[in-house]
Amino acid sequence: MKEFITLKEFFIAHKKSFLLGIFWVFFVDVIGLITPKLLGLFVDDLRAGELDRTGILTYAGLIFGAAIFSVIARYFWRIYIMGNSRKAEVYLRDKFYDHLQKLSPNYFNHHKTGDLMANATNDLGAIRQALGPGFLSAVDPTFVLTFTVIMMVYTVGWQLTLAALAPMPLLALIVTMFGRIIHKRFGEVQAAFGSLTDRVQENFAGVRVVKSFVQEEAEIKKFTAENKENFKANLNLIKVNGIYNPIVQLVTAVSFLIAIAYGGILVVRGTITLGEFVTFNTYLGLMTWPMMAIGWVINMWQRGAASMKRINEVLRTLPEINDDQDLAAKEDLEGNIEFKNLTFTYPGSELPVLKDISISVKAGQTVAIIGRTGSGKSTLMNLLLRLYNPPEGTLFLDGVDITQVPLSTLRENIGYVPQENFLFSKTIRDNIAFSGDGYSQEQVEAATSLAQVHSNIVDFEHGYDTMLGERGVTLSGGQKQRVSIARAVIKNPKILILDDSLSAVDTHTEEEILLQMKRIMQARTSLIIAHRISTIKDADEILVFDEGQIIERGTHDQLLELKGLYHELHQKQLLEDQIAANN
Ligand SMILES: Nc1ncnc2c1ncn2[C@@H]1O[C@H](COP(=O)(O)OP(=O)(O)OP(=O)(O)O)[C@@H](O)[C@H]1O
């Protein structure tokens, strides 16, 4: 139960409607006690021959009136109690999503999307069930059981009441025992579902790879196996529920057996009237549901608590990358970057990916990085964006340690074109204006013109309103790259990072983009990672990376003179260009 502390603020804010919900349950349960009493009096009056037509109609009218009150009150308990559970679900889902947005990229490297989706759907559903039907089924039976036992003793005395309720401790035992098994099996259902969602999600995301490797059949088989596991887990839960409910009903039937036998004898002896016997049995009937509900409630609360625990585990994960508490307010950056003897190892890895890197970039300069794949180029940019934490004292912006620059200032001042050009399933305009709502059409077009993609966009039937992704068109690799560039430059950033962002555009377009960029980036800093020498040859400084180290550095001409790796790459690319031209 302590897991529900996460919802403390919610409970406090909504205590009034919780109390109102409880009031309406109380009201319904009190009305529920009237009907059996009326029924008993009716039987006794009928037996005594004291009822005429008006008397019968009066009883019928009273019983009907009680039913009407009960119906109205039930409507209100539903509105308050179920309504609150829905509100709690919304509150928690917002909190959960909010927290996920704050977690570092590294968290998502180690947690499966399917599991997080299961948290956001199944777990939140189980919590809602606990707070809605679970809460109702705790309050309602408590009232019903208490009031009914009092009324039973009042009507027929304690002996018959005690005798009829004798099997109830057994029921409590069964309920607790089954509760544990059900809890365990529910956990298995959750795990199986998480695994299934994970497979589906990954499969759809990688559909092109699956098809190009002709793995449809193999994937279908794997899915079928997971689906069966999911089915088995659910069936195991159904089986235990299937035994549980009849056993509970059997125990209640024993109660009735005692009530009829012993109660019948008391009527014959004249200790109680027939009407009281009817009232008592009707009360006993009222107790069946609360008795069953005890198990149901325990079950539902256990599920809810297990789900809450899983959600709490996520909520209690602190973001690895966060602003220091006593951070000086710094709202702007000039764009001076300095890496000082930086050595970096990814969290959880053993070997460093970057070794003793020292680079100094003055505001307005363009520095380019080239090197073999896996040599640590993107890692350097990840650190500059503080997607990972660099060791203290190794990375400075305008002379301030990066850990002392507020994250919002840092990221708002960087225009980043990632290697994977992820675009959202939204319109092209919305994708470009992703970093803010206030961009005008002119600003969007200026960005796309710079990125040389404006003419492509206006050629689409819906122009800037063209939907991308699952619900729309698929852009070519080069178009995607250029839309990504437009998305970064529209921010007018102090620092622009292009991570292999021109690889899919032809050399002529590349030249155009670079020329335009040079114009707007004069007072800004650019870091360009590329594999093609044509992209970087005009940079103020070019760094050649190999196995996490800078092995050569200088301008294009200086590096050619060195006759090292850069020279080798240059020769290779010249040859490739010549072959392409000949073809
Ligand atoms: N999140 C991570 N956790 C652990 N290791 C990582 C992580 N990201 C990258 N690496 C490793 O760090 C090394 C450098 O990767 P990085 O992406 O920086 O190389 P790169 O030079 O940009 O390569 P490419 O030119 O292919 O993009 C690789 O060996 C890679 O496997």
The pLDDT value given to residue 104: 86
Question: What is the CA(492)–ligand 1 centre distance, in A?
Answer: 28
Report which ligand 1 atom has the smallest distance to the Cα of 419.
27
Residues 6+ positions from 155 with CB-CB distance below 8 Å: 37, 40, 272, 276, 279, 280, 283
Please check whether residue 531 is in contact with residue 369, taking contact to mean a CB–CB distance below 8 angstroms.
Answer: no
Residue 321: the pLDDT is 80
Q: How far apart are CA 435 and CA 127, in angstroms?
A: 35
Q: Residue 143: left if φ>0, alpha if ψ -120 to 50, beta else—which one?
A: alpha
Among 353, 355, 528, which is best to mutate for testing ligand 1, by the most ligand atoms less than 8 A from CB? 353
Cα–Cα dist 62/53, whole Å: 14
Q: What is the CA(114)–ligand 1 centre distance, in A?
A: 24
Look at the pTM and tell me if it is higher than 0.80: no
Q: Which pLDDT score is estimated for 471? A: 59
Torsion, CA 284, CA 275, CA 273, CA 171, rounded to 10 = 0
Pocket test for ligand 1, best of 369, 379, 387, 544 (most atoms within 8 A of CB): 379
CB 295 within 8 A of CB 149: no
Quote the ligand 1 centre to 357 CA distance (angstroms): 16
Model confidence at 41, pLDDT cuts 50, 70, 90, reads very high
Identify the residue whose C-alpha is closest to ligand 1 atom 5: 346
Pick 472 or 367 by higher pLDDT. Answer: 367
> To which H or E segment does residue 306 belong?
helix 274-315
Query: Ligand 1 centre from 394 Cα, in Å?
Result: 19
Look at ligand 1, atom 9, and give the residue with the nearest C-alpha.
Answer: 379
Domains of the chain, CATH where assigned: 83-315 (1.20.1560.10), 335-413+494-555 (3.40.50.300), 424-492 (3.40.50.300)
For residue 387, the CA-to-ligand 1 centroid distance in Å is: 13
- C-alpha Rg value of the chain to the nearest Å: 36
Residue from 305, 195, 300, 170 nearest 241 by CA: 300
* Number of the ligand 1 atom closest to the C-alpha atom of 109: 1
Which residue's CA is the nearest one to ligand 1's atom 31? Answer: 374
Q: What is the CA(374)–ligand 1 centre distance, in A?
A: 5
- Using the atom order of ligand 1, give the atom closest to the CA of residue 388: 1
Pocket lining for ligand 1, CB < 6 angstroms: 109, 346, 349, 353, 371, 373-379, 419
Rounded CA separation 565/372 (Å): 10
Mutual angle of helices 441-450 and 477-489, in 10-degree steps: 130
Q: Across residues 221-242, what is the average pLDDT?
A: 93
Is the C-alpha dihedral spanning 50, 54, 56, 58 positive or negative? Answer: negative
ipTM of the predicted structure? Answer: 0.95
Give the separation between CA 559 and CA 550, rounded to whole angstroms: 13
Residue 277 confidence (pLDDT): 93
pLDDT, tens digit, 9 for 90 and up, residues 421-437:
888 989 999 999 998 87
pLDDT tens per residue across span 201-216: 888 888 888 898 888 9
| Local structure of residue 402 (DSSP, 8 states) | G
Separation of 10 CA from ligand 1 center, angstroms?
A: 43
Task: Write out the two tokens for 4.
Answer: 């529900």
| Integer Cα distance of 416 and 396 in angstroms | 18
Nearest C-alpha to atom 3 of ligand 1 is from which residue? 346
What is the DSSP track for 476-517? Answer: -HHHHHHHHHHHHHTT--SEEEEESTTTTS-HHHHHHHHHHH
- Taking the C-alpha atoms of residue 118 and residue 126, their distance in angstroms, rounded to an integer, is 11
* Least reliable range by pLDDT among 157-171, 284-298, 493-507, 562-576: 284-298
Residue 519 burial by Cβ neighbours in a 10 Å radius (0-12, 13-18, 19+): exposed
Residue 460: DSSP 8-state: S
Q: What is the mean pLDDT of residues 174-203?
A: 84
Euclidean distance between CA atoms 28 and 18, whole angstroms: 16
pLDDT band of residue 82 (cuts 50, 70, 90) is very high
Q: Minimal CA–CA distance to 398: which of 334, 332, 492, 330?
A: 334
Ligand 1 centroid to Cα of residue 529, in Å, is 13
Q: Who wins on pLDDT, 252 or 441?
A: 441
Nearest CA to ligand 1 atom 7: 346
Is 70 exceeded by the pLDDT of residue 472?
no
Residue with the larger pLDDT of the pair 324 and 123: 123
For helices 158-165 and 216-269, give the axis angle rounded to 10 degrees.
Answer: 150
- Tell me the CA–centroid distance for residue 346 and ligand 1, in Å: 9
Q: Which residue, 536, 524, 528, 523, is CA-closest to 485?
A: 528
Residue 483 has pLDDT above 80, yes or no: yes
pLDDT in tens, 331-362: 788 889 999 999 999 988 889 999 999 999 99
Q: What separation in Å is there between the alpha carbon of 485 and the centre of ligand 1?
A: 22
Q: Which of 313, 303, 300, 293 has the alpha carbon at shortest distance from 186?
A: 303
Measured between alpha carbons, how far is 96 from 314 in angstroms, rounded to an integer?
Answer: 8
Using 50, 70 and 90 to split pLDDT, how confident is the model at 329? low
